[in-house]
Amino acid sequence: MSIIILDRDGVINHDSDDFIKTPAEWEPIEGSLEAITQLNHAGYRVIVITNQSGIARGLLDVDMLTRIHSKMRRMLAQVGGKIEAILYCPHVPEDACTCRKPLGGSFAELAHRLRIKLDDVPAVGDSLRDLQAAQTVGAKPILVRTGKGEKTLADGIPDGVEVYDNLAAVVTALLEPSV
């Protein structure tokens, strides 16, 4: 069974500079839930790794984050999909933790939990820090133009990173039979 790692805000749901603080503010990007379902049906284990500094900033607590993730999982289940695990970093950059992207601590934790290497595992994000975190563990960084993706692309990305319009386009490319 294959694994794919997804960032949350800007990849699965619409992002906000004001943070996603309640379930009401969490809205999926068109086609993202169906794309995850396609991945599931193709045998992919879908893992979300997300920075959630709103917790350290006092904008929401862990209970509210759990409610947001429950809404995401519920909406996903309605279209036949599921997310196997969600790893999140609740810290602000100043906390100097290793779990916050662009560092690879959360990715390393995932690899340890699953007892696997993340070499060439697709890791989809919309920011440079998503791409950098994937690279630190040998995963394959993929940029989407949704969320902060257009700005990230304009600012410059590492050589060799594939770019797609959205998660649905990533999934189409992943699941296309090789010629």
20, 13 in Cβ contact below 8 A?
yes
Alpha carbons 79 and 111: distance in angstroms, whole number: 28
Q: Which two three-digit tokens encode residue 115?
A: 């007892």
Residue 29: strand, helix, or coil: coil
Residue 91: strand, helix, or coil: coil
Catalytic residue from among 9, 15, 126, 130: 9
Q: Is 160 left (phi over 0), alpha (psi -120 to 50) or beta?
A: left
Catalytic-residue membership of 9? yes
| Catalytic annotation, residues | 7, 9
